[in-house]
């Protein structure tokens, strides 16, 4: 099934030229008929595979599908792909409850995508909707660091496409050049905690490709005016997230600061039941925004942030 499909496509991808059916069958210890069947299924997934008397040759990899997203991915995630799903976070939570770890759910469209605080996330077809399941052996208080890591990983992947992406605290990825702020991506982190450690964590990332029809939003295709290499984009995002897990996780804070759009701005932050207005001056572990108000310095752990206008630097 899909495991041998992945091995076949890997064997084809490793070769510039063609690979014969018998050679593939021997390499994978399966029958030639099984190879042929898997090649047909790969074609149905969108892989372009030419065949002639010398064998099979891979000439095109699709942007979507679990086999395509797994091919060449340098991170240990098991990818589950859906053309359409209600919510990748909902499915990821289900997998987490079943015991999964290092799993990723990816969809082309969502019918009930969710934002924070039960808001909805518009998820038209052709977007990037990704939810990562992991089980860090860390205290629940550190969860915000993982949200920041999701934002940094997303920002980095967008910047590699040549766009000047910036982060608005805590979890929005914006494009700010050439006009007003435009929201490109958002992150929804959900978790189950035990007293002293995280049981599971789901980091859900939505990146618009086309404009989703939400005021103030934009998409990669709109900004790039070009084909968006969705497969490599998702892979770079996952690899970048993985690199934080391998490093000292606190390093995410300095990367976040490098990409932050919020720092140095006058902000209004709405928290549960109150509002803080002041100048955003820093971020502290595990993700608190430090705001200087007229008469105090406050640390905000959760809320909605609005950029008012650039603070004067004088």
Chosen residue from 188, 234, 263, 305 binding ligand BT5 by CB under 6 A:
188
Of the candidate spans 52-60, 133-141, 154-162, 200-208, the one that interacts with ligand BT5 by CB under 6 A turns out to be 200-208
Residue 183 binding ligand BT5, by CB under 6 A: yes
Site string for ligand BT5, 115-144 (x = CB under 6 A): xxx-x-xx------xxx-------------
Q: How distant is the alpha carbon of residue 11 from its chain centre?
A: 27
Tell me whether residue 9 or residue 106 sits nearer to ligand BT5 (CB atom).
106
Alpha-carbon dihedral of residues 111, 234, 77, 61, nearest 10 degrees?
100
How many residues touch ligand BT5 under the rule CB under 6 A: the total is 27
Residue 114 binding ligand BT5, by CB under 6 A: yes
CB of 204 to ligand BT5, least distance (A): 3
Long-range contact set of residues 55-62: C-beta below 8 Å, sequence gap at least 24: 55/18, 55/19, 55/20, 55/21, 55/23, 55/24, 56/12, 56/18, 56/19, 56/20, 56/21, 56/24, 57/12, 57/15, 57/17, 57/18, 57/19, 58/9, 58/12, 58/13, 58/15, 61/13, 61/231, 62/231
Of the candidate spans 203-211, 252-260, 272-280, 292-300, the one that interacts with ligand BT5 by CB under 6 A turns out to be 203-211
Please state whether the peptide bond connecting residue 170 to the residue before it is cis, i.e. omega within 30 degrees of 0: yes
Question: What is the token pair recorded at 314?
Answer: 């004088």
Residue 65 binding ligand BT5, by CB under 6 A: no
Q: Which residues bind ligand BT5 (CB under 6 A)?
A: 87-89, 110, 113-117, 119, 121-122, 129-131, 172, 183, 186-188, 204-206, 208, 212, 214, 217
């Amino acid at each position: 099934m899909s495991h041998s499909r992945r091995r076949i496509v890997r064997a084809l991808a490793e070769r510039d030229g063609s690979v014969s059916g018998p050679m593939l069958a021997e390499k994978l210890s399966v029958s030639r008929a099984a190879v042929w069947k898997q090649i047909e299924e790969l074609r149905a997934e969108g892989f372009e595979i030419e065949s002639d008397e010398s064998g099979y040759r891979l000439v095109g990899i699709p942007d979507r599908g679990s086999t395509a997203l797994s091919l060449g991915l340098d991170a240990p995630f098991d990818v589950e792909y859906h053309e359409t799903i209600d919510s990748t976070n909902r499915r990821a939570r289900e997998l987490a409850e079943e015991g999964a770890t290092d799993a990723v759910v990816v969809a082309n469209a969502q019918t009930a995508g969710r934002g924070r605080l039960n808001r909805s996330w518009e998820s038209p077809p052709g977007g990037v909707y990704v939810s990562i399941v992991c089980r860090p052996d860390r205290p629940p208080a550190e969860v915000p660091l993982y949200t920041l890591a999701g934002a940094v990983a997303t920002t980095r992947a967008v910047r590699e496409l040549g766009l000047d992406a910036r982060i608005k605290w805590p979890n929005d990825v914006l494009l700010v050049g050439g006009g007003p702020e435009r929201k490109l991506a958002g992150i929804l982190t959900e978790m189950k905690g035990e007293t002293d450690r995280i049981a599971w964590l789901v980091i859900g990332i939505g990146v618009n490709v086309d404009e989703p029809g939400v005021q103030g939003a934009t998409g990669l295709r709109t900004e790039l005016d070009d084909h968006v290499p969705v497969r490599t984009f998702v892979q770079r995002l996952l690899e970048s997230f993985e690199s934080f897990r391998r490093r000292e996780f606190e390093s995410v804070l300095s990367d976040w600061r490098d990409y932050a759009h919020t720092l140095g701005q006058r902000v209004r932050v709405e928290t549960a039941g109150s509002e803080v207005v002041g100048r955003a001056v820093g971020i502290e572990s595990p993700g608190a925004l430090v705001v200087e108000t007229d008469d105090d310095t406050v640390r905000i752990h959760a809320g909605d942030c609005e950029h008012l206008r650039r603070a004067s630097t004088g």
